[in-house]
Amino acid sequence: MMKWSTFLLLLTALFISNSSNAQSYQKTDHGIKAKIKSTAIEIQYYNPSSVRILKSPDGRPFTKESLSVIKKPQKTVFSVKQQGDVVNLRTATLNVALNLKTGDIIYSTVKGELLLKEKQDGVQLAPFNDAGTNTLTVQQLFILDRDEPIYGLGQQQEGKMSQRNVTLNMVQGNLDDYIPFFQSVKGYGVFWDNYSPTVFTDNPEGTSFKSEVGDCVDYYFMYGGNADGVIAHMRELTGQAPMFPLWTYGFWQSKERYKSQDELVDVVKQYRKLGVPLDGIIQDWQYWGSNYLWNAMDFLNPEFPNPQKMVSDVHDMNAHMIISIWNSFGPHTKQYKDLDKIGALMDFKTWPESGSEKWPVRRDYPSGVRVYDPYNPAARDIYWNYLKLMFALGIDGWWMDSSEPDHLDPKPSDFDNKTYLGSFRKVRNAFPLMTVGGVSTHQRAVDSGKRVFILTRSAFAGQQRYGANTWSGDVTSSWNALRSQISAGLNFSLTGIPHWNADIGGFFLSKFKRKLEDPEYRELYVRWLEFGAFTPMMRSHGADAPREIYQFGQKGTKYYDAIEKYINLRYHLLPYIYSASWDVTANQSSMMRALVMDFPKDKNALDINDEFMFGKSLLVSPVTNAMYVKPGAGEKETIQVEDFSTIRSKETYLPAGADWYDFWTAERFSGGNKVSRQTPLDILPLYVKAGSVIPLGPSVQYAEEKKWDNLEIRIYPGANGKFVLYEDENDNYNYERGVYSTITFTWDDTKKTLAISDRNGSFPGMLNERKFNVVIVGMNKGVGENLTGQADKVISYTGKKVAVKF
* Matching fold, domains 4-143+188-223 and 707-805: yes
Q: Is the pLDDT of residue 1 over 70?
A: no
Q: Average pLDDT in the 238-259 region?
A: 98
pLDDT in tens, 758-799: 999 999 999 999 999 999 998 755 455 555 558 999 999 999
pLDDT band of 16, cuts 50, 70, 90: very low
pLDDT surpasses 70 at 389:
yes
Segments of 22-132 assigned E as strands: 25-27, 31-36, 39-47, 50-57, 79-83, 86-90, 94-99, 105-109, 114-130
What's the pLDDT at 637? Answer: 61
pLDDT tens per residue, range 181-207: 999 999 999 999 999 999 999 999 999
642 is catalytic: no
Are 773 and 756 spatial neighbours (Cβ–Cβ below 8 Å)?
no
Run of H or E residues at 181: strand 177-184
- Among 171-185, 231-245, 634-648, 767-781, whose mean pLDDT is lowest? 634-648
* DSSP-based three-state secondary structure for 189: strand
pLDDT at 634: 56
- CATH code given to domain 707-805: 2.60.40.1180
Strand-pair category, 397-400 with 454-456: parallel
Q: Is the pLDDT of residue 271 over 90?
A: yes
Q: Out of 401, 503, 530, 548, which one is annotated catalytic?
A: 401
Output phi, psi for 315, to 5 deg: -65, -35
What's the chain's average pLDDT? Answer: 95
Beta carbons within 10 angstroms of residue 13's beta carbon: 11
Q: Where are the domains of the chain?
A: 4-143+188-223, 246-620, 707-805
- Active-site residue (options: 148, 474, 704, 729): 474
Question: How far is residue 393's CA from residue 671's CA, in Å, rounded to a whole number?
Answer: 53
Helix, strand and coil percent figures for the chain, each rounded to 5 = 25, 30, 45
Q: Is 29 a catalytic residue?
A: no
Interval 317-336: pLDDT, tens: 999 999 999 999 999 999 99
pLDDT at 304 exceeding the cut of 90: yes
Q: What is the mean pLDDT of residues 500-527?
A: 96
pLDDT tens digits along 31-80: 999 999 999 999 999 999 999 999 999 999 999 999 999 999 999 999 99
Domain topology for 4-143+188-223 = Immunoglobulin-like (2.60.40)
Q: In what order do the strands lie in the sheet with 25-27?
A: 25-27, 31-36, 39-47, 50-57, 217-223, 188-192, 177-184, 150-155
pLDDT score for 698: 98
Q: What is the pTM of this model?
A: 0.96
Pairing of strands 94-99, 105-109: antiparallel
The verdict on whether 401 is a catalytic residue reads: yes
Which residue out of 42, 85, 284, 404 is catalytically annotated? 404
Q: State the fold for domain 246-620.
A: TIM Barrel (3.20.20)
Where are the strands (E) in 633-739, listed by range?
639-642, 649-654, 659-662, 668-670, 673-678, 686-689, 693-696, 710-715, 721-727
